[in-house]
Amino acid sequence: MKDIYLHEYQPRSRLFTKTTEVLKSRFPVIDAHNHLGDSFGGGWDKRPVAELLDVLDEAGVETYVDLDGGWGEEILHQHLDHFKAAAPERFQVFGGVDWAAWAGQGNGFGEWAAQKLRAQTSAGAQGLKIWKKFGLQVRDHLGQLVAINDRRLDPIWATAGELNLPVMIHVADPVAFFDPMDNRNERWEELSNHPDWHFPSPPYPSFQSIMDDLADLVTRHSNTIFIGAHVGCYSENLAWVSELLARCPNFYVDISARISELGRQPYTARQFFLNHADQILFGTDMGPDLETYRIYYRFLETNDEYFNYGKAGIPGQGRWFIYGLYLPDDVLEKVYFLNAQRVLQIDK
């Protein structure tokens, strides 16, 4: 028997398990975490909106939240003009914070950014997206790393609360991305393909310190709605996320890009959905892709066992398969639609 490389190893399961085809979600869907540009959304900003609407209609997605406006105000206006203007009822576009401007604003950056947020809202932005460089790479005018709960930024969060803008916040990646790159790292294969996704401490802050700062931020700004992207950025520890959800009614989470984690702990994950049915939002973070939507629907709606959470033969986030949660209808309707309808203030 000859040795083979890991990338050559493509095992096929010999289990005989049920396969349920879910072509359309049981209830209408609001996709609360996604993209439409080149980097993550498939480049739909260069394609006719009518084609995009056909895909969303087939998937049962009634409203699509485009977070790409957070990349910059030029992109925000482009997406407002291209998507929102063409189908106002179908899209929401979130704005962002220009962290690079801190160098010229000094300690007044928070107030400056809050005023920029007001201008973005006047232009049509309906939420605020915070990218993961915040907490990992954003530095102030003195070159110091900025903590997530830095009080100089309080005007931003207070203004979002005043304007009833939800804050979609992504501050940390999977825990393994912070672990040493050794033979014990369960995401070694993924990180070896994307070394820039590795955030060892030092020089980066520890994963837990980032999460503790997030919890402090959400707790202090109780009048502002925060949506913790990717199951609150801690899908590996649902007990931690559950405690914060229970303590902070202004905190919500979405499930985007994390059914890989949720689906390998199906008993804990199902109970998590049942316990926090009013604070969980649907999202994929994979662009408007019909096959991806159907994998998510299968995960949420069926009791299928041990199936691939991705489209490739070897799933990208870890060499494991997942199990369906078989959620009850009342929970499904909240996760698919009602929770996001409330948080995003969508009139129906």
> Tens digit of pLDDT for each residue in 152-162?
999 999 999 99
Q: What's the one-letter identity of residue 187? A: R
> Tens digit of pLDDT for each residue in 284-340?
999 999 999 999 999 999 999 999 999 988 888 999 999 999 999 999 999 999 999
What pLDDT is recorded for position 38? 85
What pLDDT is recorded for position 348? 66
What pLDDT is recorded for position 280? 98
Instruction: Quote the strand ranges of 90-169, DSSP E.
Output: 91-93, 128-130, 167-169
pLDDT along the chain (348 residues), means of 10: 86 92 97 92 90 97 96 92 96 97 96 98 97 94 97 98 98 95 94 94 94 98 98 98 98 98 98 98 97 98 97 89 98 98 91
Distance CA 58, CA 64 (A): 13
What pLDDT is recorded for position 8? 84
The answer for 267, left when phi > 0, alpha when psi is -120 to 50, beta otherwise, is alpha
| Cis omega (within 30 of 0) for bond into 88 | no
Residue 301 contacts residue 22 (beta carbons within 8 Å): yes
What pLDDT is recorded for position 255? 98
Angle formed by the axes of helices 266-275 and 238-247, nearest 10°:
0
